[in-house]
A and B are shown apart, each in its own frame.
Chain A
């Protein structure tokens, strides 16, 4: 009964989405305010219906309803409750349902928070979101319905993929989807601007918090995904340039560019058409990401089972969305006239440069990701592009960005005073140069030029961010007053830039100074790695709720003193007969020690020699802390007062600054 309710609610949501597109669109055309106002209630109704549907599916998982094919394929009676709830998005159908749930939630949020938007802009934005919703709801109902019934009903489920039975995966997909889907709001605003032909500072101010919110979720989602892969895949890697990772990283790069170009559009009234284009591209890349993950056209650890119908549907949807968006863009964007000249040595000039680098980097990642597909299509053979390509193109394209960030606050809008900028840059530059050279030595590593370069760039970003906050504190007589007077937007920016510095520091050290070794050890034997002695104390069998584990004891000593005791596991999940590696990590801010169990050398003798993978990874944690700081910076920036003021101030209708 409950699954039928869920299915019905989903169909009803589709009908409401159609209304959400048609009624407000007709209202805007006829300039009928009452019709425009229906958009908000339609968006909220659509959200409630999809939420109902989602809860019904969750209930089916919680109550172990094997009569649903999707539940039976991805759950098991022994699966713990937390994983039964997260199993809803453990495979294709349910994760698409989560996707539309988030989409409708964003729509409902826009309808609630932007009540003071000019009615036609609000109505158009929600109508666009309705149209996107129609696409995805049709996709679910036609090709990937999670409410499909199973007959005959099996005795038990086939269990959730063991890889996904991890706390990291409980939060990673919802966060990532929030980010992905969130760019639909920026897209909807961009289309509304194109349709109305109006794009001014107020438009940018409305769009900014939504974009930043989507961006911060995406940042958090990617960071969590990296953390999860590190712990769960047992390879000790944190980024693989896997197609699906790239699929989330490209919208991130373009979204980052969008955040910055929106600032220029708001403050200086420039880069208008470019901003709109970025908003379209960010969402297009999110859709492309979905296509790559769902269609199985690319070989990836994340690829779900292949189904050509799904791929074709999403590809057509992508083509339709992009086609409409670009036609509108070509027709309307020339109307957006920039106000005044853009000087290169000014904040807006540097932000334009930042955009060029970010978008080029995104294009390079896109090329590397799609190259195997293109090669196959043009009969150039079956090719794969490995991580060396991405590292090779990505470094030169992002290093200049790190240099630019240091000037983020000292270079003012319009035209900067060169002398003032260099006077302010002197101290952090000097400190970064000395610190960058000393850092590897202080940590007892060999001096490598790339390490010094990375360290200098990282410290440069960190120190200039702190310097800006310090300068603002010093500007007041009392330190506390100064600290509390700093606008949240500045806090957010400084924190995010400092976060990038922390991230670069982590990436530099972990890529250059990691030590990895596969060893064969018998019980009681010791292996030496980076000055740490790893003693393997053998295996004990230990059953879990739905798996049996070989539980190992590894003692680590450094210069004769015990440092850590780690318990990596090898788990055999009973329902699927799948083997999983559960790595064990001891971490401090300066280094990770990572042990993963390989396999017993003799399959039938778990008490004998084992293969073990040992890692020493300096500054690994900084990579994720950097991501957390960036997301936190976004959160603080979004909570800035002026966005709330902007909502109040926008009660009076917009005066068009653009000749229509």
Chain B
């Protein structure tokens, strides 16, 4: 091979490598993306039971029930709708009724079955996507679940 051919081969190999890795990266990203939903989204629209998704909302005050072993049930609410959630395992330190949380899991016959529950470490901090979805029509955080949260804080 001449120098020029060698260089062309190197460039072609590099492009092929880059193309392949770009393909891997994008397909991996597509497969592992999780969309964020609010209780209203899930109550009003049917979602495939195969899709793993994230659900954010406020834990309704008085809704936490413990079952056998480490099973817990509670409802998550936004400003309009609420949705029952089932979870087995240890709840995070900041999990409290009235607290905003993000749960990851799947829908199963109208119930959200969570395999992971996250509450933020700073109790004043709320994930921006959750805060945004919890705004009521006038843009303020003052709908019913928030009122219960303020009462719970007292």
- Residues on A facing B (Cβ under 8 Å): 161, 163, 234, 296-297, 299, 301, 303, 305-306, 341, 344, 356, 360, 363-364, 367-368, 371, 381-386, 388-389, 392-393, 396-397, 518-520, 570, 578-581, 596, 598-599, 601, 611-613
- Across chains A and B, which 3 residue pairs bring their CB atoms closest together, nearest first? A598-B90, A382-B36, A389-B32
Chain B min CB distance to A358 (Å): 12
Question: Do A520 and B70 touch (CB < 8 A)?
Answer: yes
Question: Do A383 and B90 touch (CB < 8 A)?
Answer: no
Specify which chain A residues have a CB less than 8 angstroms from the CB of B127 in the assembled complex. 299
A-side interface mostly: mixed
Interface size on B, residues (CB 8 A): 35
Task: Tell me, yes or no, whether B122 is within 8 Å of chain A by CB.
Answer: yes
Chain A min CB distance to B15 (Å): 12
Specify which chain B residues have a CB less than 8 angstroms from the CB of A596 in the assembled complex. 90
| Interchain CA distance A234-B93 in the complex, whole Å | 9
Chain A min CB distance to B116 (Å): 10
Interface residues of B in 13-40 (CB under 8 A from A): 14, 17-18, 21, 24-25, 28-29, 31-36
Knowing A518-B90, A611-B90, A613-B90, say if A364 contacts B25 (CB, 8 Å).
yes
- Select from chain B the residue with minimum beta-carbon distance to A580: B93
Specify which chain A residues have a CB less than 8 angstroms from the CB of B129 in the assembled complex. 299, 382
Task: Tell me, yes or no, whether B110 is within 8 Å of chain A by CB.
Answer: no
| Interchain CA distance A305-B33 in the complex, whole Å | 26
Chain B min CB distance to A418 (Å): 18
- Residues on B facing A (Cβ under 8 Å): 3, 10, 14, 17-18, 21, 24-25, 28-29, 31-36, 54, 66, 69-70, 88-91, 93-94, 120-125, 127-129
Question: Do A360 and B66 touch (CB < 8 A)?
Answer: no
* From B29, B31, B88, residue with most partner A Cβ within 10 Å: B29
Chain A min CB distance to B117 (Å): 12
B-side interface mostly: mixed
Knowing A301-B121, A306-B128, say if A611 contacts B70 (CB, 8 Å).
yes
| Interchain CA distance A122-B69 in the complex, whole Å | 67
Question: Do A383 and B21 touch (CB < 8 A)?
Answer: no
Question: Do B29 and A371 touch (CB < 8 A)?
Answer: yes
Knowing A393-B28, A580-B93, A601-B66, say if A386 contacts B34 (CB, 8 Å).
yes
- Select from chain B the residue with minimum beta-carbon distance to A299: B127
Specify which chain B residues have a CB less than 8 angstroms from the CB of A371 in the assembled complex. 29, 33
Partner of B36, one of A383, A392, A578: A383
Question: Do B93 and A579 touch (CB < 8 A)?
Answer: yes
Knowing A364-B21, A385-B29, A385-B33, say if A598 contacts B91 (CB, 8 Å).
yes
| Interchain CA distance A161-B10 in the complex, whole Å | 53
Specify which chain A residues have a CB less than 8 angstroms from the CB of B33 in the assembled complex. 371, 383-385, 389
Specify which chain B residues have a CB less than 8 angstroms from the CB of A601 in the assembled complex. 66
Question: Do B28 and A581 touch (CB < 8 A)?
Answer: no
Question: Do A384 and B122 touch (CB < 8 A)?
Answer: no
| Interchain CA distance A396-B21 in the complex, whole Å | 9
Specify which chain B residues have a CB less than 8 angstroms from the CB of A368 in the assembled complex. 29
- Select from chain A the residue with minimum beta-carbon distance to B7: A341
Given contacts A163-B121, A389-B29, A599-B91, 10 further A-B contacts (CB under 8 A): A234-B93, A368-B29, A385-B29, A388-B31, A389-B28, A392-B32, A393-B21, A518-B89, A519-B70, A580-B93
Question: Do A599 and B28 touch (CB < 8 A)?
Answer: no
| Interchain CA distance A360-B3 in the complex, whole Å | 27
* From B21, B25, B89, residue with most partner A Cβ within 10 Å: B25
